Amino acid sequence: MRIETTRFEEELRTRRREELTVIESAHVNRPCLSCDIVCETCGSTGCACNCSPNCELAPTMLTSDAEFPVEPSILPLVFALGQLGITEPCWSCEGHLGPDGTISRLPQVWFYSSQQMIPRLIGEFLGNLKIHSHLSAVWSIVSTFAPADSLAPAFAIRPVFAPEESASLKDLQADARLIGATLAGEVRTRASEFLHR
């Protein structure tokens, strides 16, 4: 079968432009929604002047259950998704080794997004990092499931990794930190480039 163009092309083009405008102009908020610390720079309790994944409160403020803080190696990526202001992280794991010393759980973050362009922009960003040899493994964004009572589309950022590959858990955790350090800015930049083509 071959179809030259989809009959939804014009509708998709309009929706893409609307979404890219939202992504490009999304206000950088505090990723920790309940944070009310007075900023030392501007005196506000709502700015993001000094927000950082290095904040000692971030591991417990980025989760809805303080008994399950965000683990250190995945924290920058959870923080970056919250920083976008249009995605909502909902689950994360920094990865773990099994009793035999092999990787039993891969590092990953799940998040909600109603913007269809977000997975595309993140996917291109992840591909670029790998192409330029910044990552030890291939990382991808995939559609995943949300809790049964939620209608929000959910996605996961995780490595595409087979146990026989040579990347160690430490390598994958370093990848996750690198992705987190640059994701928010790169997604906004890519949205702007798409929008102004």
Per-residue pLDDT of the chain (197 residues; tens, 9 = 90+): 666 766 777 888 888 889 888 888 887 778 887 888 898 888 888 888 888 899 999 999 999 888 899 999 999 999 999 998 889 999 999 999 999 988 999 999 999 998 889 999 999 999 999 999 999 999 999 998 776 677 788 999 999 966 556 789 999 999 999 999 999 999 999 999 988 87
pLDDT the model gives residue 148: 66
Q: How far apart are CA 90 and CA 126, in angstroms?
A: 20
Residue 148 structure tokens: 């049964």
Are the C-beta atoms of residues 74 and 107 closer than 8 Å to each other?
A: yes
Our separate counts of H helices and E strands in the chain read: 5, 6
Are the C-beta atoms of residues 44 and 35 closer than 8 Å to each other?
A: no
Closest-CA residue to 159 (of 171, 150, 151)? 171
pLDDT the model gives residue 166: 75
Q: How far apart are CA 56 and CA 69, in angstroms?
A: 11
DSSP one-letter code for 171: H
pLDDT the model gives residue 162: 64
pLDDT the model gives residue 165: 66
Confidence (pTM): 0.89
